[in-house]
Amino acid sequence: MGNSSNFFARQPILNRFEEIYAYEFFFRDTDGSSTIDDPRSATASVLVNLVNQFGLHSSAADAKLFINIDPAILQSDILFSLPADRFVFELPAETKITTKERELVSLLFSKGYRFAIDNATTDESFIYNFELVLDYITYIKFDTTATDLDLLPDTLSKLTEKKLVAQRVEIPEVFEAYRDLGFDYFQGYFFANLHIIQHNRIDPKHLGVIKIYNMLISKTPFDQIAEEFKLHNELSLQFLQYVNSTGLDDSNPNRSFEELLKKIGEIRIEHWLMMIIYSKSAKMINAEKSPFSLLVEQRIDIMNAIIKALYRPDAKKMHEEARLCVFISMMETVLNVPMISLLQQIQVSGNVEEALMARSGILGRVFALTIAIENDEYASIQVLMKTLHLDHSLLETFKQYKKI
């Protein structure tokens, strides 16, 4: 569909038995380079890639995710949009800790989020600087190429009950030395190189993100916000991937996109939108609609035209289910998320599940007919229209909604 690409990098963190415990994720620019001009934007960009584009399950399976965060991110509330049990936020060793940072780290810690200190040193000033937040730090990471082993034991005696991570482990002797010192986890080229991940890039329009964000903070009625989402296909797809990545507390089936929005809630959506804004990933210009957006509109319009022609009493519900069906189908096509995995994370109504998995039920046949029209599969069109008791003369009406 002519999508551009996103890049980011990861490296595994292993336990003492050389089993994968976590992955650390690193920023990469749109050309794959690691140049960082804006640390806050770089942090948000990695997070958007993980939860909105590639997905947490595809990125790390069930392992934890270590992310370097710019201290300014602590003041933004966007971290609260992430699942607390998955992420570990790494504070750079040069972070200046004041009572303000202490309050923010303490609040996040109380909500279940965990922190690491990156590139810790044996210098006395290191312990002094982080003294205010040390109680809220779970992991301490030491760069083995910049650490004096003779000085390390004294520093470790002041870091009791912390999980120790040795990074930049490049030879077996270093692995053994740090393991003997009591380190729990290890990271470096001795185990695995950085792995560059490239995937499809689906970016929303900046003005759309800003408009919905402003609607939320100005307390616009939620049904109006849901209607506005219908105008922004890329943002809607990112939202579904976000739900797929972070999960829902409510396991009841969802029959519409609006139901999912309501269950995520206004505050969490607000934080999520701010993450996109900080990442600077939204298109700043009022560009033409992408092929992806046109395909979404095409499928929704054709499905709605077919449902209208069926004259069913439950047509309103079917229109909402059809839209949800289209977006979930696009997640499989564009973001390469297996359908079975999607439906395990996003609970949908029986009608939508049957339509997506087996093309069965009325909605499933409508969806199958839409795909057949989209692909000009004449034989399938004939069979499906007959099954749905639709007059063949309606075919031209349905075809007029084809955009690509």
The answer, yes or no, to whether residue 33 has pLDDT greater than 80, is no
Q: For residue 322, how many other CB atoms are within 10 A of its CB?
A: 26
The domain boundary, picked from 152, 173, 199, lies at 199
Q: Are residues 178 and 258 in the same domain?
A: no
User: What string of DSSP letters covers 383-404?
Assistant: HHHHHTT--GGGHHHHHTT---
The domain boundary, picked from 167, 199, 231, lies at 199
Contact 401, 305 (CB under 8 A): yes
- Report helix, strand or coil for 91: strand
Tens-place pLDDT, residues 71-90: 889 888 999 999 999 999 99
Query: Which band of pLDDT confidence, cut at 50, 70 and 90, is reported for residue 281?
Result: confident
Q: Pairing between strand 4-15 and 185-186?
A: antiparallel
The answer, yes or no, to whether residue 218 has pLDDT greater than 50, is yes
In the prediction, which pLDDT does 36 show?
Answer: 67
Quote the percentage of the chain above a pLDDT of 70: 96
- Whether 365 maps to a domain, the answer reads yes
Cα distances (Å, whole numbers) of residue 141 to 50, 104, 118, 175, 242: 22, 21, 5, 14, 29
Report d(CA 353, CA 380) in Å as an integer. Answer: 21
Tens-place pLDDT, residues 111-167: 999 999 999 999 989 999 999 999 999 999 999 999 999 999 999 999 999 999 999
Query: Which band of pLDDT confidence, cut at 50, 70 and 90, is reported for residue 199?
Result: confident
The answer, yes or no, to whether residue 42 has pLDDT greater than 90, is no
- Whether 249 maps to a domain, the answer reads yes
Residue type present at position 24: E
Q: Are residues 183 and 229 in the same domain?
A: no
Helix (H) or strand (E) holding 115: strand 114-120
Contact 362, 266 (CB under 8 A): no
Tens-place pLDDT, residues 101-123: 999 999 999 999 999 999 999 99
The domain boundary, picked from 173, 199, 225, lies at 199
In the prediction, which pLDDT does 1 show?
Answer: 46
- Whether 129 maps to a domain, the answer reads yes
Q: Are residues 163 and 279 in the same domain?
A: no
Tens-place pLDDT, residues 331-367: 888 888 889 888 888 889 999 999 999 999 999 999 9
- Whether 404 maps to a domain, the answer reads no
How many domains in the chain? 2
Q: Mean of the pLDDT values across residues 179-192?
A: 95
Specify which residues 166 forms β-bridges with.
142, 186
In the prediction, which pLDDT does 34 show?
Answer: 61
Report d(CA 336, CA 178) in Å as an integer. Answer: 40
In the prediction, which pLDDT does 287 show?
Answer: 60
Q: Nearest-CA neighbor of 166 among 9, 24, 10, 8?
A: 24
Domain that holds residue 350: 202-399
**Backbone φ/ψ region at 144: left (φ over 0), alpha (ψ -120 to 50), beta:** alpha
Q: Are residues 252 and 328 in the same domain?
A: yes
User: What are 69's two structure tokens?
Assistant: 């965060």
